[in-house]
Amino acid sequence: MTSRNFAPVLLASSLLALTVSTAGFAESMPSYGAPITVEQAKQAAEAAIAEMRKRNLEMTIAIVDSGSNLVYLERSDEAGIGTIDAAIGKAKAANGIKTPTKMIEDMILKHGQSNLLGVPGAFPVEGGVPIVVDEKVIGAIGASGGMPPDDGTVANAGAKALQP
């Protein structure tokens, strides 16, 4: 296992160790599915953008596939340049641990797990959400440009767009 692949495993292991109290939890975690298509990514982005506009925000929306490769990115005209890397980082982190980045944030702030700050690829800020279709992670969406709860709401709107 390369060090690049080890970071998400270490982070996921840390999260599971603290939050899991039942033996069956690991079995219920979604597995990776076929990568999100460009059309699916656009559909998720459209839903996220609709939520962003509803909140009158300027953001960047990034969508990665199940291999954490960037598939789609859209940046509002007035969104800060720094929101690009942040949105991509949140999407990659959510895909890598198959859970929202809000969980990493909570592990640090509410459970004192500051060691997670040292995990490469961990993005401990709300706004990254895995995209799950048919109980398989097909990618993830990241939103950046608002306050963390806004980023999370926008990303969740995009992730839910592919649900039946």
Domain 3-160: give its CATH code. 3.30.450.150
Domain limits, the chain = 3-160
By C-alpha distance, which of 100, 67, 112, 63 is closest to 84? 63
Print pLDDT tens along the chain (164 aa). Answer: 444 554 554 455 555 444 443 344 445 689 999 999 999 999 999 999 999 999 999 999 999 999 999 999 999 999 999 999 999 999 999 999 999 999 999 999 999 999 988 888 889 999 999 999 999 999 999 999 999 999 999 999 999 999 98
Burial class (CB in 10 A: 0-12, 13-18, 19+), 144: buried
